[in-house]
Structure 1
Amino acid sequence: MYEERPARLDGAVVWAHTPAGPSGGAVLPDGCMDLLFHDGRLLVAGPDTGPHAAGEADGGAWTGVRFAPGDAPALLGVPAHTLRDQRVELAALWPGGRVRRLAERIADAPDPSTALEALALGLAADAPRPDPLTRAVARALAQGRTVADTAATAGLGARRLHRRCLDAFGYGPKTLARVLRLQRALALVRAGTPYAEAALTAGCADQAHLAREVRALAGTTLTAYTATATGG
């Protein structure tokens, strides 16, 4: 079972996943990074460029804080592109003793998700405020604006925008735009919007374009995704 709620940290989401069986769906690219707690361990999920197994094979419950796109690198102290398509122990990024104490505190808490959220809030309090330019880039691309228009509005050249996106999101602006467009389309599909309408509304050229993006980024088909997402 999967549940999520808005976090007290701006733009973030707190989620919990308790496997109900031996297999389940995949985590799809969303432009975000997550701080994870599982089996007494703290981990970081880097930005994905393709589907990632949800973790049921490890058994037990997972708790996470999914940060807003572009926010996690400043909180964790690592450029996003160094963790692309990876799940790494937080102890590989921070001193082991500190991570061990934090993990023990979360494990002993009555509600690990609340304790993990408190950790994220503490990180945000000690870090610089989110970069408004990074937020503006993510917002523009999420709205379907072109990379060229986004770069011009941000006052950045193409190369500088690409470097900033690699550090903040883990991949360049074109890939980020594709990921965010896919998420828009799949949200519409989950809400019952016909495929062709969802494709055009999200910014795809047509339904065939959306189908290709689902295969490339989600590793499945529109029909299979809909059946999984709706329990059909």
Structure 2
Amino acid sequence: MKLALFDCDGTLVDSQDVIVTAMTRAFDRAGRPVPPRPAILSIVGLSLVEAMRRLGDDDPTFPAEAMAELYRGAFHELRAESEFFEPLFPGVRAALDLLTARKDVVLGIATGKSQRGVAAVLRHHGLEGRFLTIQTADDAPSKPHPAMVLQAMEAVDVEGADTVLIGDTSYDMTMARAAGARALGVSWGYHARDLLMQSGAERLVEHPDDLLPAMDALWEAGR
């Protein structure tokens, strides 16, 4: 059996506008200067408190936990608004359909989102039940710590050589390699191609149509 382990934000869904809006509200409410959009997108994938520490330049006086709570509140407000939307990237659903049909592959998620956030995304897009293991910031240390990947592999009894982590950030690639899994980068997310390769991506795909061939090549190479 093989495990296709997906990041969520920036890999499955395009949540950048929602994240930037929620972060802007959080910093505004704290009376702090809002970080530039590229800085906000650079921390997508980290657990929330760690993300806030990065945005606070790792200043020990920066109230990362309080800012994380402000962000959670802002995000929940946005989710209740009628125009809230985290769309799947074009081609992702078709790729998931093909993978779901494979008898030798199980699907999983490893994300900096909460379990509640992942459940909302899957429910909205009718993807409940597709992912056999869902590892989140509620369950493990922040990326790039390998715990999420290790826990996912243990949950479905799959070895590292048979696990491919698909993600759009350097944190995903570093996490995968640290866990002994294969690292597959996607170009449509929030970190640059060069950074993905420098962080350990073994392959980089430009479109979801390319995911299955790339995964098969990595699984074959791991034999």
Q: TM-score, normalised by structure 1?
A: 0.27
CA radius of gyration, larger in: 1
Q: TM-score, normalised by structure 2?
A: 0.27
